[in-house]
A and B are shown apart, each in its own frame.
Chain A
Amino acid sequence: MTVHQTLPGDETSPAYNYAYLDEQTKRMIRRALLKAVAVPGYQVPFGSREMPLARGWGTGGIQVTAAIIGPQDTLKVIDQGADDTTNAVSIRRFFEKTADARTTEATEQATIIQTRHRIPEAPLQAGQIMVYQVPQPEPLRKLEPREAETRKMHAWAEYGLMQVKLYENIARFGEVTTTYDYPVMVNGRYIMAPSPIPKFDNPKMHMSPALQLFGAGREKRIYALPPHTSVRSLDFEDHPFRIQSWNEPCALCAATDSYLDEVVIDDQGSRMFVCSDSHHCETRRAAGHRGAMLGDAAASGLVASEESTS
């Protein structure tokens, strides 16, 4: 009963449509995307498909990218800010294979940037589209596990539960202890999960000139931020929102204003801090910025000196 489609001359791989998804599925996702931009921050349910990558590994972002990408696009895929992390490599290969996609690591050259957990350091531009992979689209889920209840809270903008939770945090620790996936208020109406980006990146969403799309495959939700949309991180007057900061610059490129990853370099507790955005760090080094440990990093194999590799 099954129809096994195969490409002529290729007996092992079935004939898949451009960007893997069939056209009916793309239409369904595209309709959801248009409603998502019309109601910023509201989670549109969609008929998320089974994808050939595991649920929780970016199937929502992949479906969104597959529904929007075309031959004129240049795609950048990052995970944790870096282009060469395993998940980013796997997804980039997926689109190279199924959509013959032109890809790049240069943030400013990309028309579509699919990301997990970071927004690039380079300011986003008008015309660019950010696609976020979202594991849990419901910002209220940890407070209320039942979808039937959280949907009502959004319907009636009843967000008291979230205020109480944040305030309890402050009472106990003196500050809000959420460091990533920090909830935001969108266009003054919906509380939205920004996906597990560090709260460091939250301010980049506010009034961004780029279009930002969010796909949660397993949870079957799509939502969006049109360009120039108000995105306010939840806070209190006496406890204003603030982002992470480090006491030292990037050890490789000396950046003082980027999000840093911690790299443990020996078993004596020594560590170095380096830019999580690998392209940003490379661009700065290419421009001659040198961090304190650049030489050591080359010695330990974290970066390669081009003179020695060429």
Chain B
Amino acid sequence: MYVAVKGGEAAILATHERVAEARRGDAAVPEISVAQIREQQALACARVMNEGSLYDADLAALALKQAQGDVIEAAFLMRAYRTTLPRFGSSEPLDTAKMAIRRRVSATYKDLPGGQVLGPTYDYTHRLFDFALMDEGAPSVMVGPDPTTSGREGASGANASGVARVEPEHDGLHAPLDAHMPRVPDILGAEGLMEPEIAPEGDPRPFDLTREPVSFPADRDVRLQAMARGDEGFLLGLGYSVQRGFGGNHPFVGEIRVGEVSVEFVPEELGFAVDLGEITLTECQMVNQFAGSKDVPPQFTRGYGLAFGHSERKAMSMSLVDRALKAREFGEAAEYPAQQDEFVLYHSDNVEAAGFVEHLKLPHYVDFQGELELIRRIRREREARLAAEPETLPEAAE
């Protein structure tokens, strides 16, 4: 008697061992710790928290370690864990106006209450390798333009051998910042120039697309949630497409702010808000043109982006696409991908997208056999037809 040879289970278990080996790499090199990832790869952790929809820097660091630095795989680990967590309720709305600012820049005003706070940013670094970082224990100082040469750009080329190591241009730790910095769109709003944010009638609890199926057209709360957990690269590309003309917006960065915001929760039994702690957020508000309508005088329109951690590119991309997706509300034609809610929402989730793209490596031989059987038969029938009537060679229709 014969039985089919079955190696599936053993092979699968073997892949688990192989991946553990691959993860560890050369055992002669010390193992990286979760704390090291959390502290020294914080921007990667922020991305994992965003796309994993879970604010927990330790778990994000663990996910990155377990996934060998594969951000989407790490976000997937976060999501699969998140879905099993019990829900105690929703926090009070966060007030980003009360953010403890680390960085705050506006492109629309030269100066404003609170000032421009550059904070930690790569914006002004020259993207030159800092080979000193190859040696552990090197001073952890940011690379930036040498203030002594900042007025004479081009002259710093002389620095090629010994890149100047300087402190960041503005250091919030040394100069005390204003306790309260108004948000730029609020300044415009006070003048009536900014599209107001008005809660939908009855101020309903926001939709949660991780619990309920989405239907279209999707309201703004659904769109914002989808983008907040959406793939940074996808949103970046869409936002860029809007700028290049696939969408008719003319954005200005009203403000980007990065810092800590407290999270408050009202337990049912207490009836008053309890401070649960702080989370780091990046908020971007884009100011866009809008001609106004018969009912509304001309005013600026808003694109909004909010992300966990220090995630400027994500927040900016999100705010560009948020504005583009308002096309329907403003009666604009929704001609381009970034303006179409169904296109953006269905394709921005990288865990879903990666799953479906990567499922193509699963066996499909049953379906492929169907295609083989068909193409062979159609070719056979065609040959038979041609052999029967060689002079009246039929063209394939269309």
One of B26-34, B79-87, B94-102, B136-144 contacting the partner: B79-87
The docked-state distance in angstroms from the alpha carbon of A180 to that of B3 is 29
The docked-state distance in angstroms from the alpha carbon of A55 to that of B55 is 22
Report if A259 contacts B (CB, 8 A): yes
A1-38: contact bitstring with B at CB < 8 Å (1 yes, 0 no)?
A: 11100000000001011001010000000000000000
- Which residues from chain A contact B59 at a C-beta distance below 8 Å? 2
Distance in Å from the Cβ of B13 to the closest Cβ of chain A?
Answer: 9
A240-273: contact bitstring with B at CB < 8 Å (1 yes, 0 no)?
A: 0000101000001000000111100000000000
Report if B367 contacts A (CB, 8 A): yes
Q: B79 — nearest CB in chain A belongs to which residue?
A: A50
Task: Classify chain B: how many residues form its interface, as a range.
Answer: 35 or more
Known A2-B85, A147-B216, A304-B3: A199·B363 in contact at CB below 8 Å: no
- Which residues from chain B contact A89 at a C-beta distance below 8 Å? 8-9, 12
Report if B362 contacts A (CB, 8 A): yes
The docked-state distance in angstroms from the alpha carbon of A166 to that of B367 is 19
Task: Classify chain A: how many residues form its interface, as a range.
Answer: 35 or more
Report if A164 contacts B (CB, 8 A): no
Q: Which one of A198, A294, A309 contacts B370 once the chains associate, using CB atoms below 8 Å?
A: A198
**Is B277 a contact of A16 with CB atoms below 8 Å?**
no
**Is A84 a contact of B365 with CB atoms below 8 Å?**
no
**Is A303 a contact of B5 with CB atoms below 8 Å?**
yes
One of A204-212, A225-233, A275-283 contacting the partner: A275-283
- Which residues from chain B contact A118 at a C-beta distance below 8 Å? 366
- Which residues from chain B contact A47 at a C-beta distance below 8 Å? 210-213
B4-22: contact bitstring with A at CB < 8 Å (1 yes, 0 no)?
A: 1111110110000000000
Which residues of B (175-225) have their CB < 8 Å from a CB of A? 210-217
Q: Which one of B2, B8, B81, B381 contacts A84 once the chains associate, using CB atoms below 8 Å?
A: B8
Q: Which one of A46, A117, A179, A197 contacts B373 once the chains associate, using CB atoms below 8 Å?
A: A179
**Is A90 a contact of B367 with CB atoms below 8 Å?**
no
Of A22, A50, A89, A281, the most chain B CB neighbours within 10 A belong to A50
A-B contact pairs, 6 of them (CB 8 A): A47-B212, A56-B356, A56-B357, A117-B367, A177-B378, A303-B5
Residues of A within 8 A of B (CB): 1-3, 14, 16-17, 20, 22, 45-52, 54-57, 59, 79-90, 93, 116-118, 135, 146-148, 171-175, 177, 179-181, 196-200, 218, 220-221, 244, 246, 252, 259-262, 276, 278, 281-282, 285-286, 294, 297-298, 301-307, 309
